Structure 1
């Protein structure tokens, strides 16, 4: 199956959800390229950005599991870059 690049944005409104989020992210760790978490105490939230390189169904499964956690909001953005746009060095053209 074709691998895609995606950005998953997660807004955590309750710290009680963090353990479940980390468990799910660990489950999909082989597909995660990078992760950045930003606490925002002034608004009592945290924002997490996840970059993935995975088949579409894997990205959807991760997004779906995260979206079912109470007090967690997520959005997923997919890259338009396809694997056929890569040159022999693996760089996008």
Structure 2
């Protein structure tokens, strides 16, 4: 199955959404290469970047699920490189 590298940028505007966010990320943990989180206290938000190596449909599913969580914004950047496993 072909996989791609993708970076999912997530902005959290309300800490009450973090539990749901972490549940979704845990469900996709086998595809996550790394995670970086930055709390931005001045604006009372948090920013997380997730790097994945996964099939297109898995990346899209994760991004879609994140976008359905209240107070969460998620955008995905895809690499042009495909890799056959």
Shared fold per TM-score greater than 0.5 = yes
Output one character per residue of 1:4-32: Cα deviation in whole Å (capped at 9) or x when no partner.
10000000000000000000000000000
TM superposition score normalised by structure 1 = 0.87
Mark the runs of 5 or more structure 2 residues left unpaired by the alignment: none
The runs of at least 4 aligned residues of structure 1 exceeding 2 Å deviation read: none
TM superposition score normalised by structure 2 = 0.95
RMSD, aligned CA: 0.9
Mark the runs of 5 or more structure 1 residues left unpaired by the alignment: 85-93
* Larger RCO of the pair (alpha carbons < 8 Å, separation 6+): 2
**Equivalent residues in 2 for 1:78-89, closer than 5 Å:** 78-83=78-83
Give the structure with the higher percent strand: 2
Output one character per residue of 1:17-67: Cα deviation in whole Å (capped at 9) or x when no partner.
000000000000000000000000100100000000000000011001000
Q: Of the two, which has the highest radius of gyration?
A: 1
Aligned partners of 2:33 and 2:71: how far apart in 1? Answer: 25
Aligned partners of 1:44 and 1:59: how far apart in 2? Answer: 28
